[in-house]
Amino acid sequence: MKSVIFAEQSRKGNRDMSIENIDLFADAFRTNHGSIRMTCNCGKEFFELDSTQDWDEGEYDKLLADDNCIGLPYGPYSLCYGGQEFVAECDCWQSGALKIMGFLDSHNSGIAKYLRLIKTRKQFKANNLPIVEQEGEERLKDTKNPVLKKHPEVCPNCKSKDVTYERFSLKYSEYLCDNCGWGMDAFTGIITYEGMGDDVKDG
């Protein structure tokens, strides 16, 4: 019974704290969207009473006469959470926000740990992406599988020493002979072009 009472008191305390911080929630989830007139997700209309901008003919009077439209001394702005956008001045979003805040307040250490784990996983993935290094010539390095084959000293077709390294994209590079046109995929070692005939002379 004591544990039940304690749990209930804990929930009440979290709710009180959430109500106290409802303005912080609104600031945290506030968007950059503001206007002289805005419709909330619940259907209520909010508008700026003293706007100096021009209204369409009869628009302002229609808003004033509509009980579902609420005039404000400033332009309404929106906040967004759960995939829905609300007018911050409306009260329809607060019940949902209080539930979210109650969850956050009750599990703050777990949420902090979760975010750290997500960061660690993303960092691990980033560290294992191929990176380009500059060491005399461009080389692609993969921390798991070094993919660049050794730069040929001479062309296996014409024996020319004019073999260059060309990187066309992050995942595709070739060793090319400037003399006979011989080519080899620098990552897989697959010959991409056998080269011209034996009549080709070294450049």
Domain that holds residue 62: 2-123
Which of 123, 155, 172 terminates a domain? The answer is 123
For the segment 72-85, what is each residue's pLDDT rounded down to a tens digit?
Answer: 999 999 999 999 99
**pTM of the predicted model as reported, rounded to 2 decimal places:** 0.50
Residues 6+ apart with CB under 8 A from 147: 130, 140, 186, 187
Residues 115 and 135 in one domain: no
Amino acid at 138: E
pLDDT-derived band of residue 17, with 50, 70 and 90 as boundaries?
low
How many other CB atoms are found less than 10 A from the CB of residue 5? 9
Residues 117 and 72 in one domain: yes
83-102 pLDDT tens trace: 999 999 999 999 999 999 99
| For residue 169, pLDDT beyond 80 | no
Average pLDDT over residues 102-122: 86
Structural domain includes residue 72: yes
**Statement: residue 47 has pLDDT above 90:** yes
Angle at 84 between CA 78 and CA 86, to 5 degrees: 30
Instruction: Report how far residue 161's alpha carbon sits from residue 153's, in angstroms, rounded to the nearest whole number.
Output: 6
Per-residue confidence band for 139, with pLDDT thresholds at 50, 70 and 90: very low
Final residue of a structural domain among 92, 123, 154: 123
Q: Structural domain tally of the chain?
A: 2
Which of 62, 90, 123 corresponds to the end of one domain? 123
